[in-house]
Amino acid sequence: MKLNLKAFVSRTGGLDSAQLCGWSVALAALAYWADVIAGSHAAQPLAPAALSASIFGAGAFNAAAWVMVMTRLLAPAPARPAPATLAVPLLGSALICVLPIGIALAPGLLLLGLALLLHTDLPASRREAGLLLLGLGVGWGWPFLRVAHAAIGHLDAQAVGFIVRLSGLDVLVQGNIVAHGPFSIEILPACASSSPLAEVALAYVVVALYCRHRLSKADLPWLLASLLFSIVLTEIRLSLMVPSWADWNWWHNGPGVTVYELIALSGAGLFPWLAARPQPVPKALPA
C-alpha cells in the first residue's frame, strides 16, 4: 500500500495552520525542557528548587527565547487550513524532537524553525517564532561540535600566546596548551572562543525582537560585531589565566567568572539594542 501524506493531511480537517504550529512547537518545547531537566544532577529534579536551577542553568536567553516563541504562537492569526507543505514538515520535525536521542533535538528544532520561517503564508509572528527556534536548535547542537571547538582551541592558544607575549611574559604554545614556566593551561572545547557564539547569536535575535526590531540584512554587521566582541573577550580572559595558578583560579573558578559573564551578557545585549535604535531622520536643508 502506498502512503500518500498529502491525502492523509487533507483528511485531518479541523486543524488549521495556527493550531498545527502551536501543537508542533508545544511538543518540541516539552522535549527540550524534558531533556534539560533530565540533565539535572539534583536528587529530586522535579522539585521546585531543582526546576528553577535547571531553567536558569539552561541560560537566560534560552528561557527568554521560549517565552517569546510561545507569545508569538498565541498572537491572533486568521484561521486557515494547514496545507500539506506546512503540515508535513511541522509534524515531522516535532516527531524528530521527541526521539530519545540527545542530538535529535537540534535537527528537529532547526527543521521546525525553517518550516515556520520559510512558509510565507504564515503571519509575521509565526515566522519570528521560527527564527527563534532556529537559534535554539543551533544552540542545542553547538556543544556536540566538539571536534570543531577543539580545532578552534588550537587557534585560541596561538592568539593567547601572542597577547601574553605583548605583556612581556615568555610563554610556550604547543597545540591547545599555553605554558608559562612550570604552569600551563589547556584550552578544552568548552573553553574555546567558539563555544559561546551560538548563545551570542541567539541573544542578538532575542533582544532585537524584544525591541520590536524587524531583522534584515542591515543587522549582519551588528551581529558580526557582537560575535567578534565575544571572541576577543574570551581571548582576553584566557590570556589573564596564563601567568599563574592563582590567576587561573580567579578567572576560572572565582570572582573572575562573574566579571566575565557580566561583561559577556552586557555585550550580547548591547549590539542588538544599538541595531534596533530608531535612526534619526535627516533634516531637510532650506531651499
**3-state secondary structure (DSSP) of residue 213:** coil
Kindly report, residue by residue over 121-150, the tens digit of the pLDDT. 888 889 999 999 999 999 999 989 999 999
Using CA atoms, how far apart are residues 89 and 37, in angstroms rounded to an integer?
27
138, three cell numbers: 543551533
For a pLDDT cut of 90, what percent of the chain falls above it? 60
* Residue of 282, 283, 175, 186 lying closest to 242 (CA atoms): 186
205, three cell numbers: 535575535
Output the pLDDT for position 120. Answer: 82
Output the pLDDT for position 69. Answer: 95
Contact status, residue 159 vs residue 187, Cβ threshold 8 Å: no
Output the pLDDT for position 48. Answer: 75
Kindly report, residue by residue over 49-98, the tens digit of the pLDDT. 666 776 666 678 999 999 999 999 988 877 777 788 888 889 999 999 99
Contact status, residue 106 vs residue 137, Cβ threshold 8 Å: yes
Contact status, residue 193 vs residue 156, Cβ threshold 8 Å: yes
Output the pLDDT for position 19. Answer: 84
Residues 6+ apart with CB under 8 A from 264: 196, 230, 233
Mean pLDDT, the chain, whole residue set: 87
Using CA atoms, how far apart are residues 239 and 224, in angstroms rounded to an integer?
23
pLDDT (mean) for 37-55: 71
Output the pLDDT for position 74. Answer: 87
* Res. 226: pLDDT tops 70: yes
209, three cell numbers: 525582537
Stated length of the chain: 287
Checking phi first, is residue 284 left (phi over 0); if not, alpha (psi -120 to 50) or beta? beta
The beta-strand segments (E) located in the chain are 172-174, 177-180, 183-186
Q: 174 has which bridge partners?
A: 177
Kindly report, residue by residue over 182-192, the tens digit of the pLDDT. 999 999 999 99
For a pLDDT cut of 70, what percent of the chain falls above it? 86
**3-state secondary structure (DSSP) of residue 184:** strand
pLDDT (mean) for 262-268: 94
Using CA atoms, how far apart are residues 271 and 223, in angstroms rounded to an integer?
7
Contact status, residue 268 vs residue 203, Cβ threshold 8 Å: yes
What is the distance in angstroms between the CA of the first residue and the CA of the last residue of the chain? 77
Output the pLDDT for position 5. Answer: 44
Residues 6+ apart with CB under 8 A from 141: 103, 105, 106, 107, 110
Output the pLDDT for position 225. Answer: 97
